[in-house]
Amino acid sequence: MKRILLLAAAVSLLAGCGLSDQQKADYASVARAGVSPAIYDKMVNGDSLSVGDIIALSRAHVSDGVIVRYIRDQGTVYYLSPPDFDRMHSAGVSPSVIDFMAQTGTPGYPYGPGPYGPGPYFYPPPIAVGVGFGGHWR
């Protein structure tokens, strides 16, 4: 009964936050999954999720789509080490989530097709500005 009241309170709180219907549905599914309040609060506040948080979401059976959408919407970039891959794989995190997380740490993410990376959008890289060495400025 207490969990139902907390879920109802969370959903009603989110209703007035200017979130999209998809985000509201995603947060409601996370709340229903019984994820720890700390992880739920991180998500509602738009904070980045750690590898441990991703594992907890996966263990709570939060859908891959919700996890990937959250990572994408927040713009989180993961630089995963081999132990991170092993830890997530052994914890049962789906390959699609692991692959998406790995893609965020690749050069050019989220830049698009072409020489700058694999993402769906194309933006030219920023222009490097600095101090020259051994030459004359003209």
Q: If DSSP codes are grouped into helix, strand and coil, which group holds residue 86? A: helix
Three-state DSSP string of 5-67: HHHHHHHHHHHCCCCCHHHHHHHHHHHHCCCCHHHHHHHHCCCCCCHHHHHHHHHCCCCHHHH
Predicted local confidence at residue 114, as pLDDT = 41
State the pLDDT confidence band at 26, using cuts at 50, 70 and 90: confident
Cα distance between residue 18 and residue 138, in whole Å: 52
Q: Which residue from 55, 57, 2 is spatially nearest to 26, judged by alpha carbons?
A: 57
pLDDT at 12 over 70: no
Mean of all residue pLDDT scores within the chain: 76
Counting residues of the chain whose pLDDT is more than 70, the rounded percentage is 64
